[in-house]
Amino acid sequence: MYIILSPHFDDAPFSCGGIIHTLTAAGQQVEVRTIFGSIPAPDNMPDTPITRDLHQRWAAGADPVAVRAAEDEAAILQLGASYRRMAAYADCVYRCSRSGLALYPNEESLFGEVHPDDMAARLLPTVALPPEPFVAEVYAPLAAGHHVDHQIVRDWGFNLWQYRSALIVKFYEDYPYTRDEAAVEAALRAFAPLSLRPEITELSEEAVIAKLNAIRCYRSQMSTFWPDDATMEAETRAMLNAVGGGRPAERCWVPG
């Protein structure tokens, strides 16, 4: 089994959808675990500038988190993988301190440092995977873009690699944050002094199409990153070709 750790409802298909399709098309069992998968009640969400803005873009008039969860499941199943939503913690925009104050109330806070009162950041990296000897590899985000939830899941992946010597952990590049060329370099510096080596997975046209179709499942997210479908496809294909030196590919980084 291959386990993909996805911080949010979209990160795994956006970032490594081609790899997921390639694995499942080869008959491998792949499970995507959406980490911050709690669906808070609509009347139990902090009213902050970031939640108001996001909810308006995601699903005005509907339960925005439930909409995102449904999109995520559809995308992952379309790639041939299985879907598991972890419900212990919600997206960072909904997490609050013990006194009820939102930990990440605006967009700037999402891409800064992890809040010292964020219990998810303290507890998640200590969680061990069940004793599953059949797990071949775990994929975690590299945290390109420096989103706080990606940093937390990256740290969990790193801890799994440190404490389970037989486990292979790979860190996938977080698309579309990788549109900023400096984002990957900055993310790699967070691993210093450990050296990571790049691993390129070339993608067939079938895998590229599967990734594009998975991205299209996230209708609520499209306007955040692209003005229209044609731009999404053009930019995604260009990024894949840039990674593969002229041929479509996705890249992960491997310790050691």
**Cβ-based neighbours of 33, under 8 Å, separated by 6 or more:** 3, 4, 5, 6, 84, 85, 86
* 3 state SS of 108: helix
pLDDT, residue 63, reads: 86
pLDDT, residue 61, reads: 63
Q: What is the CA radius of gyration of the chain?
A: 17
pLDDT, residue 131, reads: 58
Cβ 111 vs Cβ 117: under 8 Å? no
Whether residue 208 is predicted with pLDDT greater than 90 in this model: the reply is yes
- Please name the residue that has the structure tokens 């486990």: 167
pLDDT, residue 165, reads: 76
Helix (H) or strand (E) run with residue 65 in it: helix 64-78
Better-scored residue on pLDDT, 56 or 204? 204
Task: State in words which class domain 2-255 has.
Answer: alpha beta
pLDDT, residue 191, reads: 94
Query: What order do you get walking across the sheet with 249-255 strand by strand?
Result: 82-85, 30-34, 2-6, 137-141, 168-172, 249-255, 196-202
DSSP 192: T
DSSP 102: B
* 3 state SS of 168: strand
pLDDT band per the 50, 70, 90 thresholds, residue 145: very high
DSSP 195: -
Cβ 32 vs Cβ 17: under 8 Å? no
pLDDT one-digit tens code per residue, 36-57: 999 888 778 888 999 988 888 8
- How many Å apart are CA 207 and CA 23, to the nearest integer? 10
CA–chain centroid gap for 136, Å, is 20
Whether residue 173 is predicted with pLDDT greater than 80 in this model: the reply is yes
pLDDT, residue 238, reads: 98
Per this entry, what is the length of the chain?
A: 256
- How many Å apart are CA 53 and CA 42, to the nearest integer? 15
* Average pLDDT of the segment spanning 168-173: 97
pTM above 0.85, yes or no: yes
Whether residue 129 is predicted with pLDDT greater than 80 in this model: the reply is no
Main-chain phi, psi angles of 204, to 5 degrees:
-75, 165
pLDDT band per the 50, 70, 90 thresholds, residue 132: low
pLDDT one-digit tens code per residue, 56-102: 887 656 788 899 999 999 999 999 999 999 989 999 999 999 999 99
Whether residue 130 is predicted with pLDDT greater than 70 in this model: the reply is no
Q: What percent of the chain has pLDDT over 70?
A: 97
* Average pLDDT of the segment spanning 153-172: 91
pLDDT, residue 200, reads: 98
